[in-house]
Amino acid sequence: MLILMHAHATRAEIDGVMKHVRGHGYEPVELPGADRIAIGVLGSHPASIRDNVVGLPGVVDAIPVSKPYKMVGLEWHPSRTVVRVGAAAFGGPEFVVAAGPCAIEDEAQVLTTARSVLASGALLLRGGAYKPRTSPYSFRGLGVAGLEMLARARAETGLPVVTEVLTPADVAAVAEWADMLQVGTRNAQNFSLLEAVGEAGKPVLLKRGMSNTIEEWLLSAEYVLSQGNPDVVLCERGIRSFETATRNTLDLSAVPLVRSLSHLPIVVDPSHATGHRHLVAPMALAALACGADGLLIEVHPNPDEALSDGPQSLTLQQFGSLMADLRRVAPVVGRQMAAVSVG
């Protein structure tokens, strides 16, 4: 930490800060400059000491110099994590696509979608049984009945299932049916839920909070890892900005940036990020090109009748076409995708 003193700080004020720091058991070093004196605090110290210092007389600011996260950081864990869910491996050479409807509506919808995305090359089936909805009057999911439909689709297709869990009390039930637990953007700093999924022993798909900095997002992942669960896949899904022409602002630069800071895999959800069907395929290709480990794509057999998020869902045919495009680009950017026999 570096403590900046006011240009006209008195000797007594400087000594007061030095004494304060020593009183907390840390070693201060005076750094005289042309304009002012700064005080370096050596060694490892908790963030709270900064809070205590900035209000002292003569102090202009105190600048922390360590990253607040540990276990998720590439600096301390230089080998990349690979998260396995069924046959899929996030974070390895393969580009992993999870696809399915926003909300589970009925068995025919799930089965039709599952068969089709499997044929197109998806490695996971996604679908919501518990839906967080901004309005209490929107369709909020089928609950356990929806989980059962997902499980039947898995039984028939072999696709592992990723689905959202909304509250700690539901974690056990969802973990029983699902292969991967999704924490949504509105719960990205629901720390009770993060700890609960950390304890559940299943891989976690952690969406970025729509107003979370990358540092906050990594700290949310640190909550899961600190419970002994190393299997976290990060998912960039767009952030809030002043632009309203897209549903969110897809922060795709987060992909290479997170890969330079953390060893965890990172995937992209272009469906929620853009909110418009015609933008999904271009941004999916962009995600592949900039180094993402995979995608989460909303697909619906009949988007214009969907109970949730129809405008951003691809048709089954559009999804097949996108997968063909991805398969063509993947090897050119150093990624693997298995060929699919569309017959």
Find the binding residues for a copy of itself in span 239-268 (CB under 8 A): 239-246, 249-257, 260
**Among residues 18, 144, 173, 329, which is the contact residue for a copy of itself, using CB under 8 A?**
329
The span from the CA of 44 to the CA of 32, in Å, is 22
Query: Cα separation of 154 and 163, whole Å?
Result: 12
Counting every residue written for the chain, the total comes to 343
The radius of gyration computed from the CA coordinates of the chain, to the nearest angstrom, equals: 24
Give the count of alpha carbons within 13 A of 291, CB side only: 11
Residue 152: CB minimum distance to a copy of itself, A: 25
Minimum distance of a copy of itself from residue 281's CB (angstroms): 8
Q: What 8-state DSSP symbol labels residue 331? A: G
The answer to whether residue 120 forms part of the interface with a copy of itself (CB under 8 A) is no
Site for a copy of itself in 150-179 (CB under 8 A): 166-169
> Does 190 sit near a copy of itself (CB under 8 A)?
yes
- Does residue 25 belong to the site contacting a copy of itself (CB under 8 A)? no
- Binding a copy of itself (rule: CB under 8 A), the pick from 40, 86, 92, 230 is 40
DSSP 3-state of 137:
coil
When asked if residue 311 is in the footprint of a copy of itself (CB under 8 A), the reply is yes
In order of 2, 71, 132, 158, the CA distances from 298 in angstroms are 47, 31, 16, 19
Among 82, 111, 173, 289, binds a copy of itself (CB under 8 A): 289
Binding flag, residue 63, a copy of itself (CB under 8 A): yes
CB of 159 to a copy of itself, least distance (A): 26
Instruction: In whole angstroms, give the CA distance from residue 69 to residue 95.
Output: 27
Q: How far is the CB of 76 from a copy of itself (least distance, A)?
A: 7
Q: How many Å apart are CA 199 and CA 50, to the nearest integer?
A: 32
192 vs 336, beta carbon nearer a copy of itself: 192
93 binds a copy of itself (CB under 8 A): no
* Minimum CB distance to a copy of itself, residue 154 (Å): 26
Per CB under 8 A, does 341 bind a copy of itself?
Answer: no
Residue 180 per-residue DSSP state:
E
> Would you say 97 or 306 has its CB closer to a copy of itself?
306
Kindly state the smallest distance separating residue 86's Cβ from a copy of itself, in Å: 28
Using CA atoms, how far residue 139 sits from 21, 152, 314, 326, 337, in Å, is: 55, 22, 20, 33, 35
Q: CA-to-CA distance for 293 and 336, rounded, in angstroms?
A: 10
- At 51, give phi and psi (nearest 5°): -55, -40
Q: Which stretch binds a copy of itself (CB under 8 A): 4-12, 110-118, 145-153, 173-181?
A: 4-12
From residue 203 to residue 242, the character string flagging contacts with a copy of itself as x (rule: CB under 8 A) and all else as - is ------xxx-xxxx--x--xx--x------------xxxx
Q: Assess 139 for contact with a copy of itself (CB under 8 A).
A: yes
Q: Which of 13, 52, 112, 143 binds a copy of itself (CB under 8 A)?
A: 52
Closest CA to 130 of 168, 164, 179: 164
Calculated CA dihedral for residues 200, 86, 299, 117, nearest 10 degrees: -160
Q: How near is the Cβ of 338 to a copy of itself at its closest, in Å?
A: 18
Q: How many CB atoms lie within 10 A of CB 158?
A: 12
